[in-house]
Structure 1
């Protein structure tokens, strides 16, 4: 078998495994598939790159869970994960206030000298790192909000219940990227792994800008889903949950 055929055979094998199950030893697998170990390694590397397999250095190679469909809509990460049967979680990496500056001030539509709360979080599903998020919100909008508040709570839920602020819409940009060494360490993936970069600005019904968020999502655990319709036709309702903090 060539690499493509070996990859297909491995895909069939993975289909009968549960997420987290280990692949057989390389020598046994090569014998089982009647391929050279060089061909097998190339096929495994391809499947690691597409997220079908997960390699843990010094431990082995394992069947990965299915990718999570990421719709471009405005529901919270917490709600999204619970709807999928995962236990959501967050780890606050840092939280501080600072003047907005010119660039962030324009994004949030506030004075460059206005204070902004910046919270850097690692987002988790069943304890597994999924994304790194950098949230910026005008301090005047959320007095008393701290990084500890956001450790295991939805930002949107806190906004609505504590501050009577409800996000209704926003603008989100998406582009492919690769992880930096720091991001790779936090997400538990190899350096320069494929990932998605999201940048989002959200606002209330009266148009007040509430947040600017920059997030890096693992490319091996997510795929992007968008519903489309001909120009002028009413778009179908969303059937998949989206990503926000």
Structure 2
């Protein structure tokens, strides 16, 4: 079976990236196409795939650069803050919305409350070293957590707030991961193009007594984040 030309070019480019090192600027597309003896279209396709893979990062008006390795997040009930710090990254959050809404049928089922009951809706952009990597929206019952708005710092860890301030003990959770394309609003918040692949996580968690804690929708940039799970028989 013959290998597509752009894939062969992509493989050669990976070797070049390793030589250049993290943060280095990639030579112009025209220069690379001439050096590799291929068309600019073929070179452009190979570069686009490396951007989607997270190996390259395009900066508007500046060029294309060798990206830092992807952040690997564990699929587990752990703090986002702790997971990033363990990889040498500085975590951060930017508040988008913190409001009260009414539970629809899905939230009613996920949170164990009645349709129409009040729900906290917390939406924040997740940052790593000041750069947006995810958009997280969390839903929690107002009846169960009436003081959440008083004790939670919008830029702080919700996990830590729940455990340290509200005495919550996480027991188990369920998580679904899928690939999606961001909406124009989501792409704008994440400073990405709509063509960039995204990883969407849906999570529900319960405490040690089996009571629902939260329902979470997390959208991550596919070029910046990967996930790891430990599997046991």
Task: Give TM-score, length-normalised by structure 1.
Answer: 0.86
Q: Distance in 1 between matches of 2:62 and 2:151?
A: 34
What does residue range 183-202 of structure 1 map to in structure 2 within 5 Å?
Answer: 183-202=186-205
What is residue 146 of structure 2 aligned with on the other side?
A: 143
* Unaligned stretches of 5+ residues in structure 1: 231-245
The separation in 1 between residues aligned to 2:78 and 2:121, in whole angstroms, is 21
Determine the C-alpha separation between the residues in 2 that align with 1:229 and 1:159: 29
Per-residue deviation, 1:214:
0.7
Return 2-11 or 77-86, whichever deviates more.
2-11
Match for residue 119 of structure 1? Answer: 122
Question: Which runs of structure 1 show a deviation greater than 4 angstroms over 4 or more consecutive aligned residues?
Answer: none
1:9 alignment counterpart: 12
The correspondence for 2:133, drawn from 86, 106, 130, is 130
State the TM-score, normalized to the length of structure 2. Answer: 0.90
- CA RMSD across the alignment: 2.0
Structure of higher RCO (CA pairs closer than 8 Å, 6+ residues apart):
1
For 2:204 and 2:174, the matched residues in 1 are separated by 5
Specify the alignment match of 1:42 in structure 2: 45
1:119–1:147 CA contact under 8 A, matched in 2 = no
Aligned to 2:83: 80
8 Å contact kept, 1:90–1:150 = no
User: Whole-Å Cα distance in 1 between the matches of residues 151 and 82 of structure 2?
Assistant: 19
Alpha-carbon distance in structure 1 between the residues aligned to 2:115 and 2:8: 58
Whole-Å separation in 2 of the counterparts to 1:148 and 1:24 = 50
Displacement, 1:87? 0.5
The farther-off stretch of 80-89 and 8-17 is 8-17
